[in-house]
A = this chain, B = another copy of it.
């Protein structure tokens, strides 16, 4: 695949950390929520091996926040998601698929409950703010909706607890998964959550002050030397191996949450009101005809810039791979694919065209084992 430079502009926003990640050797970008998101540093594979062994600092400012506050904020947040938030607690993070009136997916944010009347939706790559604004205007809800100046730094990797403890103190080791707290470093308070877009453990620091974030970035590298810290970013290989889904890649507004395996975040029996509820009940009754599964392909590389068709021996469509990368762990190309119902048995074999050659692969369950 040829390389094409990205043209920067105000519309593809830089982050408070862009100068720093460029000094640290970022080697490619993607665009996410109208913002630059680093895609690689040394190389995808080198970054991958390092992430699984040490600790990395990520500029994930592109994970923008939609802040919803005010009297009707809990009602509006609940209207957008099929996950029952009626027992949600301040200080916790909730992974919550958002659905439209057809029961189709709009985004899959982490919803942070800051107070009973103040929420941050930490969003994937779609303009949730306009969905919220449209709904609020249509229902005449008393809410404030904005995109605050929050720019997340993620600290990810098996040594992330050690590095973070050096900055924020030993008590950070007790912070539970998908919980957040305000913690102090050099007389400043930082919103720190145990979360992140890898399964190598780690934290996300929701930075509300640009200069404080830049300082923090530099301290993380200064104090992280002994842990072999490097600049990194969400890693395509690691996130597929970990079956972390990506809105726009693995699923989008043409898919419903059952098809994306979000069953445990779909609460149709509770009393809460959300806009796609009746549609999702119908979809559940009828049953789905396709769903996301894993694939393993006997090859050592793949370029993905659109979904690729999987065929059976008689050239019937098995499904479509939507993300894929070569995995040094499985020594195969692994991917996430939307698979048609007749082929849901794991180990079903298929053919795929990669760069005009035919390769074979097998369907598997997620997560990969």
Query: Interface residues, chain A, CB within 8 Å of chain B?
Result: 1-14, 18, 22, 26-31, 34, 39-40, 100-101, 106, 125-139, 147, 246-249, 253, 275, 303-307, 322-323
For the complex of A and B, 6 pairs with smallest distance between CB atoms: A138-B138, A134-B134, A11-B248, A127-B127, A130-B131, A8-B305
Chain B residues with CB under 8 Å of A248's CB are: 9-11, 34
Chain B residues with CB under 8 Å of A26's CB are: 4
Nearest B residue to A125 by beta-carbon distance? B11
Partner of A133, one of B8, B11, B101, B322: B101
9 contacts between A and B (CB under 8 A): A5-B5, A9-B248, A10-B249, A11-B246, A14-B306, A34-B248, A127-B127, A127-B131, A129-B253
Does A30 contact B1, Cβ atoms closer than 8 Å?
no
In whole angstroms, what is the CA distance A137 to B6 when docked? 37
Chain B residues with CB under 8 Å of A6's CB are: 4-6, 28-31
Nearest B residue to A32 by beta-carbon distance? B11
* Distance in Å: Cβ of A140 to nearest Cβ of chain B: 8
* Distance in Å: Cβ of A235 to nearest Cβ of chain B: 12
In whole angstroms, what is the CA distance A12 to B304 when docked? 10
Chain B residues with CB under 8 Å of A247's CB are: 11
Nearest B residue to A44 by beta-carbon distance? B7
* Distance in Å: Cβ of A337 to nearest Cβ of chain B: 11
Given the contacts A100-B133, A126-B130, A9 and B30 also touching, CB distance less than 8 Å: yes
Does A27 contact B4, Cβ atoms closer than 8 Å?
yes
Given the contacts A4-B5, A6-B30, A130 and B125 also touching, CB distance less than 8 Å: no
Does A323 contact B28, Cβ atoms closer than 8 Å?
no
Partner of A4, one of B9, B29, B304: B29
Partner of A10, one of B8, B13, B323: B323
Partner of A29, one of B7, B125, B126: B7
Does B128 contact A304, Cβ atoms closer than 8 Å?
no
Chain B residues with CB under 8 Å of A275's CB are: 137
In whole angstroms, what is the CA distance A6 to B12 when docked? 12
In whole angstroms, what is the CA distance A126 to B40 when docked? 26
In whole angstroms, what is the CA distance A14 to B2 when docked? 14
Does A137 contact B135, Cβ atoms closer than 8 Å?
yes
In whole angstroms, what is the CA distance A130 to B131 when docked? 5
Does B30 contact A12, Cβ atoms closer than 8 Å?
yes
Nearest B residue to A26 by beta-carbon distance? B4
Does B137 contact A137, Cβ atoms closer than 8 Å?
no
Nearest B residue to A30 by beta-carbon distance? B7
In whole angstroms, what is the CA distance A40 to B18 when docked? 23
Identify the interface centre among A7, A136, A147: most chain B CB within 10 Å of its CB.
A7
Chain B residues with CB under 8 Å of A125's CB are: 11, 34
In whole angstroms, what is the CA distance A7 to B39 when docked? 7
